[in-house]
Amino acid sequence: MTITVCLGSACHVKGSHYVLEGLQSLIKEHHVEGDVKLAGTFCTGNCQKGVCVTIGDTLYSLTPETTTQFFETEVLAKLH
């Protein structure tokens, strides 16, 4: 599974670096480094939606505060 985090200007202002750091920590904490890869991208064209994160073709809008819930429901749940 690859999680792509937008690192463009609008998402950066909304905390994309915190979302990225949170995901990195969660991947290590849950020992899923072999199953989950992180990638970065520039503008996805959805600037109004917050920090844009994609898994496959599905777009999610995150904040630093919702990163853990996203990881548990959209990542861990699909790995197990």
Task: Give the CATH number for residue 68.
Answer: 3.40.30.10
CB-based burial, 22-51: b 16+ in 10 Å, e otherwise: bbeebbeeeebeeebeeeeeeebebeebbb
Tell me how many domains the chain contains.
1
- Residues 50, 61: contact at Cβ < 8 Å? yes
Domain limits at 20? 2-79
Mean pLDDT value across the chain: 93
Average pLDDT score over residue span 44-66: 90
- Per-residue pLDDT tens for 1-13? 999 999 999 989 9
pLDDT value at position 48?
A: 84
Q: Which residue has the higher pLDDT, 49 or 60?
A: 60
Neighbouring residues of 63: CB distance < 8 A, sequence distance ≥ 6: 14, 15, 19, 50, 51
- Per-residue pLDDT tens for 62-76? 999 999 999 999 999
Tokens of 23: 């995901």
Please state the pTM of the whole predicted model.
0.91
